[in-house]
Each structure stands twice: as C-alpha cells, then as structure tokens.
Structure 1
Amino acid sequence: MLKKDLELDRRWQQLRLRLGEQIGRRPKDLNAILFLIGVQELGQGRRTFSKEEKQDLMHIAICKVLSYAGYYELEGLDEQGWPHWKMVNPLPHFDLLEQEKLLKMQVLDYFEQEMGWVFVG
C-alpha cells in the first residue's frame, strides 16, 4: 500500500471514529457517510425517507463533496427545498477503487471545511 493510501486510510478511520462520537455509532462505510452528508445538506432534519429519497440524498452528497474539486455546482433548490446540482467539469475515468478514493478524499474535505474538523495522516 502506498504511503498516501495509508494516510487516506488513517484519516478515514479518524472520521469514522469522530462521527461515531457525534451520532452514537460509527458509520460502517462510505455510503453511510454519504447518506449523513445528504441529510445534512437537505437541512430538513431527521425523518424517515423513502427508498427514492435515500437515493436522492446520496446524489446530493456526492455532488456536494465533488463540488469542492470543481466537478459540480449548486443550481438552486426546488419547491420542496431539495438542492439541484449541475456538472461543470467531467469526472475522470477511474476504476472503482480510484472512484472510492476520490470520494473519500472529498468527504474528508467536506468535514474539514463544513465542520472545521482536522484529520491527521
């Protein structure tokens, strides 16, 4: 494993531990953390979501975290208050492992910028 991969893994584990302290249990994977980001970005509080809404929350989170790297920008909110994003730069053609690494790095950036959290590699 490369040094930068080890650093990413250490920072990722720190995020999972910190979220566990905040919400009472450690999120098990990237999807769980993306769901939490989606709920946060929607801003409608804790409630029950339909399967389709959960998919939309994941999309909101992915667009939000990738906006830090310049791939998406917020277009606005619809009449129900759901954010809508547009792609402004094409995503690189990565394999699944590289896609996951990109998302993890951007999720860490999200928590550093939005919450002021610091993660040490």
Structure 2
Amino acid sequence: MYPTLLVFASLVAAIASVGSEGTSSNGQPVDAWKTVSLPETFYLKHRSLEYDEGLGGTAKCVSVTLLEKNDEDRTAKSRMMYKDPQTNLMKENTVCVKVPRSDKSTINDIIQMSDADNCG
C-alpha cells in the first residue's frame, strides 16, 4: 500500500465526519462505504501532510471520482487527480478502495487503499 494513500484514507474519513471515536458529530456511527461510493466527484482541500510526493507534492487540492463499485463486497476503483505544482499539469492515480469492518464494529468503518491492478 502506498504511504500517500494512508493520508488519503484519513482525509476521506474526515470528509465523512468521523471523529476519533468513529462517530459523526451527532454521535452516530458512520459507514465509510457512504463516502467511498459517492457518485459525484468530490474534492479534498485540506491535507494532513504539507508534502506528499504520491499526491502532487504540495498540491493544494485532490479530487476523487468513483469509477466502479461492488456494493456486495464493498470494493471500488476511484480516480484521484491533482495538479502537479512543478508542471501545472493534471496527474492522476487509479486506486482500489476496500471498506472492511473493524473489530466489534457493526458497520464497515475502515478505508483501505491499494494499487488498482490488485483490486478484487
């Protein structure tokens, strides 16, 4: 798994309003699949690391677009795009997203990312 994708996973979790206890701001558990399977492109405007080589170095914004999903096994392929600050060209990575359930959880609350070629 790419180290930069761990950063992405944490950002996706933030978008889903997951707090440190795995609940939303109203105290209800959050199903991570709802974020991963969003049909519209969404944008991550804040990053947990100032420099992330795998996702645009110091790019300010990353977009995520769902390409395909399997609701039964909760896997998806998504395209992540960012503007390369050195060339000003758009770059993209296609990733595999899996959403398993953590121990003792009643919902799928983990987002795992890997190379899209190994999805399934």
TM superposition score normalised by structure 1: 0.27
Question: Quick check: which one's helix share is greater?
Answer: 1
Q: Which has the higher contact order (CA 8 A, sep 6+)?
A: 1
Answer 1 or 2: which has greater strand percent: 2
TM-score (norm 2): 0.27
